[in-house]
Chain A
Amino acid sequence: MTADTRTRRPWWLRVSMIAAVVVGIACAAPTAYAAWTAQATAQGSVSAGRVTATLSGDLASVLTNAQMTTTRSVTLTNTTAGTSTQHAQTSLSLAVASGDATLASSTTLVAWPVTAAAQCTPSAAVGAGSAQSTWAAGLTLTSTLARGQSAAYCVRTTAGVGAGIASGTRSLVASASATVSVGTFRAEPPAVSGTLSTSGIYQHRVVENVWIRSQVTGQPGCMDVTGGVNAPPGTAVGIYTCHSEFTANYWNQQFSMVDVSGQYAVLAMRAPSGTVLQATGGGVTIAKRDVGSVYQQWSPQTNGTTWQIVNLGTGMCMTAPASNGPLTMSACTRSPSQTFSLGNLSGLAPQDPDTYPGDSDAPADSDPGALDSPPPPVAAGRTRDSLGHDSADIAEAAEPTGSGPSSGTPVSDGTAEDRVTIDGLGDDESTEGDSSADDTATTPHGEPAARDESHLRKD
């Protein structure tokens, strides 16, 4: 007998042992258990929805000198179907789809949410939640939007003077696009686009450093301060026969352009000294410098041959009468009465608008040319001219530069008005005289006048 056979137990013994254990365990359960059960079922299905949205509006605009700002609107609607109560996250982006990069970078873009697109009027104040940029940089506005709701946005575009071009027209395609998302689901409705263009906005150019005379196209008249070199502020500016002399008594036909931050020009009269041109009512007057006045902000615009003088406060162009008489301001049409030939008289002109009495455009400490403050010391070997300019600065200013207006212009001594031509300016066809020290000259209008040298610095 082997070990296996010795230890193997019969089957009935094994069964009885297992049964005993099972019965024991079953009997040891502390609770009773019934085998009754009942069942019921619920059946259904689950499906995901789709986030949908629409974008509508109109971004097409034509910018002109009279309307440098346009206000349009776009409306984003969350059209998601279903019963979800979740608010969608929305993102509205405004950008240039294609077109003129210069126009894109020189137009200011402001957008803000409103409750209704109808609120987007030209006079509407920019509301809360606004964002500002340029069309070149674009901008994005975000918000939340419940299902079925709409969000309207005003889109305001303002052209800067940099939008001008010799052809008078630039254009780009502005685009508004949006995303509407709930969690990982999102919708991108078709974009809204429109052509943004300029019309009749010519190249803004400020010819600095020189005294300029403006002659009406096709007329013998020049821009002229009525009443002569001693006329008080408020005096009208008109058209009068171009002077043939350029002494101080005839300086009421001479002005200079002073650039202010590249945004506009101040047109400063040589005489009456301390005055600038201002659009007043329907005309043009001389006035004390007032930094806060948009009516003293001008945009000299050229097509490469002739100029139009646009007042940025009114959007109107300086307009000459048919013959001698006061200037008026009217909508720019590029008619001959609104185009001028600018003659560069080459006399050195102040470049800082602070030269003229009144409020300052710049901090006082950067105002070396102010009449009521002493000029900075002149370096050794240099002199100061009658207007207080350092001779070195004068020479430097007259040096031809790539973009400067005085290329090829001989340096003036500041007293003799040397007739020259500036690139891009129309020829000054007047005949010049040489009487810079002519104290006995008559007024431009034939009346004797005392020379006004009050604007000259007395070093």
Chain B
Amino acid sequence: MSPSPRRAPRGSSRDRTPVEGNRRVRVGRHLSIAAALVAVVATAVTMSTATGTLALWNDSVEIPDATIEVGSMGLTIAAGSGSAPAGQTTVLLGAQTWATMLPGDVVGVPITLTNPGTVPVQVSAALDSAAAGQSDATFWIQQGACPAAGTAGVRLTGQPQQVPGAPLSGDSTHCLHVALSPQIAATRQGTTIVPAFTLTFTAAPERTP
């Protein structure tokens, strides 16, 4: 048995039809529910993020005059172990860098990433999809000078990988390795393995708690 709609008393100053009255009731009810939800969420958030006790007693103290400065960050790149020139955001590594590679060869070149700003940044790197999608050559990056042999550091893929090392502030030299697979097909001898790759470094300010 469904409940009968509530009717307003006859002769009321708010002379309304029964339908209008019901709608107003429903709207009011919904507003109440929404307000309650917002209150609940806000309370939950406040409670979950609060790190201390909440006192009803408050106090305040003034701090001396201070200057609030906006930080800066950036990212430039250069081949070699020297500082990247200001504003240089692209470096072309010559075709001879990874030419004439043989199966099992690992060839590394140093590159220098520079953050000229004041805010340390985390740097990630990702290959373009074509370079990431083949398996004959793999790309690796590590902080520091290139080792005499072998690969080290992080293998680069199409997804951003954090570049090893502390948050970048100033210059940091890294080694970009390319390794040719020992199992590469014999028919690839003398051919171009990766015609053109782009390795994108992305810098973002370090997250602070």
Contact = CB atoms under 8 A, between A and B. Distances in A.
Interface string B172-209: 00001010101111101111111111111111110111
B95 A39 contact: no
B194 A46 contact: yes
Contacts of A83: 100, 107
Nearest to B90: A41
Interface string B18-62: 000000000000100110011001101100110000000000000
B89 A40 contact: yes
The interface centre, meaning the residue of A24, A47, A49, A186 with most chain B CB atoms within 10 A of its CB, is A47
A13 B31 CA distance: 8
A49 B103 CA distance: 9
B208 A31 contact: yes
A42 B201 contact: yes
Contact of B190 (A23, A34, A49): A49
Contact of A20 (B30, B38, B76, B199): B38
A47 to B, nearest CB: 4
Contacts of A17: 34, 37
Contacts, number: 190
B166 interface: no
B159 to A, nearest CB: 15
B137 interface: yes
B42 A50 contact: no
Interface residues of A, number: 44
Contacts of A38: 73-75, 89, 115, 121, 202-204
Nearest to A14: B34
Contacts of A27: 45, 49
Nearest to A184: B186
Interface in B91-113: 91-95, 97-105, 107, 111, 113
A301 to B, nearest CB: 52
A44 interface: yes
Interface residues of B, number: 73
Interface string A381-402: 0000000000000000000000
A36 B49 contact: no
A208 B186 CA distance: 61
A47 B105 contact: no
B186 A186 contact: yes
Interface string A18-39: 0011011001101111101111
B197 A44 contact: yes
B77 interface: yes
A13 B30 contact: yes
Main secondary structure of the interface of B (DSSP, over half): mixed
A47 B191 contact: yes
A186 B48 CA distance: 66
A38 B199 CA distance: 14
B113 A40 contact: yes
Contacts of B207: 31-33
A186 B74 CA distance: 47
The interface centre, meaning the residue of B30, B73, B89, B103 with most chain A CB atoms within 10 A of its CB, is B103
Nearest to A33: B207
B41 A24 contact: yes
Nearest to B46: A27
A46 B101 contact: yes
A45 to B, nearest CB: 5
A292 interface: no
Contacts of A39: 75, 89, 200-203
Contacts of A34: 204-205
A48 B105 CA distance: 10
Contact of A43 (B30, B48, B74, B198): B198
B98 to A, nearest CB: 4
Interface of B: 30, 33-34, 37-38, 41-42, 44-45, 48-49, 73-77, 79, 84, 88-95, 97-105, 107, 111, 113, 115, 119, 121, 136-137, 149, 176, 178, 180, 182-186, 188-205, 207-209
Given A42-B111, A86-B105, 5 more contacts: A24-B42, A39-B75, A40-B76, A40-B89, A43-B90
Closest 6 CB pairs of A and B: A183-B103, A82-B100, A49-B100, A44-B93, A40-B77, A38-B75
12 contacts: A30-B209, A36-B73, A36-B205, A40-B90, A40-B91, A40-B203, A41-B200, A42-B90, A42-B91, A45-B197, A46-B98, A46-B194
